[in-house]
A and B are shown apart, each in its own frame.
Chain A
Amino acid sequence: MSAPSDEDLIRRIASGDRAAMQGLYARHSTAVFRFLVRMVRDPSRAEDLMSDVFFDVWQQAGRFEGRSSVTTWMLTIARFKALSTLRRRPHEELEPEMAETIEDEADTPEVTLQKASKADAMRRCLEALSLEHRTVIDLVYYHELAVDEVARVLDIPAGTVKTRLFHARKRLSDLLLKAGVDRGWP
């Protein structure tokens, strides 16, 4: 017997099926948690927010209309909650990207060693991106959402999604260059 679809689980959750909720949680909790950690950069707060997201799903499953995928719906709720939390703490709201941790390391022996690992530099630069840039990068590359799905989560037009991702990738190239990795693009 094939596993029930996300939509099937949501229909059962709408009728108060606890087991279906356990199934949905097992399937999506890690992805939602990681999305939130990347947004708020605090695993403890991300866990609390994740719990709120799933409780919202439990209570609002009856209102799910299927106009988007369940993943898109949950990530939309998660993003809204994360932004609400960040706005309540204005000193963290518009966090600058942590480019300085990439720069100024140019000629030290440690950096020379790190340059040998492009993959490691890529990870550090991805973590250094601004909230806006790393969010769109995560939605496309890790959560594997289509253009229109990203547009729905971020509440922006599809064209803006494409250009925002382009600028995020361009910024990533800049950071990599500063870390000693020249990608030759853009």
Chain B
Amino acid sequence: MSTTDPERDEDELLLPWHVTGRLRAAEAARIESALACEPELARRLDLARAERDGTEAVNEGLGAPSMKARDDLFARIDADLAARERGPRGWLRRMGEALAGLSPPMLAGSALAACLLLLLQAGLLTGAWLGGSPTTYETASHDASGPSASGTFLLVTFGPTATAAQITEALAETGLSIVDGPRAGGIYRLRLSDGTEGRGSPSAVVDRLRTKPGLVVLAVPEPVPAR
């Protein structure tokens, strides 16, 4: 760098990279043209080549790392891999690999099953939160759905002297069955079975019950609720 020409000085600075071929194309072209007309620059390029050859020789003489160094390094890497497998990232990776191994139909089916499971769980939670009726006691004769809503019904109070056998016989004879009661005042709600409806109207059945001495105190058809 002893000239007064800055470009020439720059070319000289870049000669080592021209030797190794690591210049940009424009810089390399500029130096090539300078070398063609400047013998001194060409001589200095030879000096750089000798430096490159010497540097390569020095480095080649340093040998290579030992096998022990390699083995020690990969023992460290194996230990690190094992630690990663035990960590949370290893668990996620294994799950990801398992999902990646599924065929598209299996993956779609698994996703659908997961969605259904989530919906079911959401429904159960919502029901428990909003729809849960307060728990009360239930009698054996009063199921949670309440008395039957369809059919023909009578309201009856049996006489205090009526025996169970008389009542059973009368019910069988008239096709009646107890569906509710006893309510306040000893009133039972009786349902006229479908198969016996043809034998008479509710009023006729009531009349037959009343003909039995001491069997009933009260017997009336249940009023049909207005719709």
Contact = CB atoms under 8 A, between A and B. Distances in A.
A141 B73 contact: no
A76 interface: no
B77 A144 contact: no
B13 A163 contact: yes
A19 B70 CA distance: 13
Contact of B20 (A55, A141, A183): A141
Contacts of B12: 166
A22 interface: yes
B14 A25 contact: no
- Taking residues whose C-beta sits less than 8 angstroms from the other chain, chain A's interface range is 35 or more
B53 A119 contact: yes
Interface stretch (B55-63, B152-160, B211-219): B55-63
Nearest to B16: A140
A141 B57 contact: no
B51 A146 contact: no
A166 B13 contact: yes
Nearest to B68: A47
B29 interface: no
Interface in A98-126: 118-119, 122-123, 125-126
Contact of B14 (A18, A30, A162): A162
A123 B62 CA distance: 12
A47 B13 contact: no
- Taking residues whose C-beta sits less than 8 angstroms from the other chain, chain B's interface range is 35 or more
A55 B73 contact: yes
Chain A, interface SS category: helix
Nearest to B10: A162
A59 interface: yes
Contacts of A172: 51
Contacts of A33: 62, 64-65, 69
A144 B84 contact: no
Chain B, interface SS category: helix
A145 B17 CA distance: 8
B115 interface: no
Contacts of A54: 73
A123 B65 contact: no
A51 B14 CA distance: 34
A79 interface: no
B16 to A, nearest CB: 5
A58 B77 contact: yes
Interface in B40-91: 43-44, 47-48, 50-59, 61-66, 69-70, 72-74, 76-78, 80-81, 84
B1 A166 contact: yes
A144 B59 CA distance: 13
A51 B73 contact: yes
A18 B81 contact: yes
B55 A146 contact: no
Interface of B: 1-2, 12-14, 16-17, 19-23, 43-44, 47-48, 50-59, 61-66, 69-70, 72-74, 76-78, 80-81, 84, 93
23 contacts: A18-B77, A21-B77, A29-B64, A38-B59, A43-B62, A51-B69, A51-B72, A51-B76, A118-B50, A125-B54, A126-B51, A138-B55, A138-B59, A140-B16, A140-B17, A142-B58, A145-B22, A146-B22, A146-B23, A147-B17, A166-B1, A169-B48, A169-B51
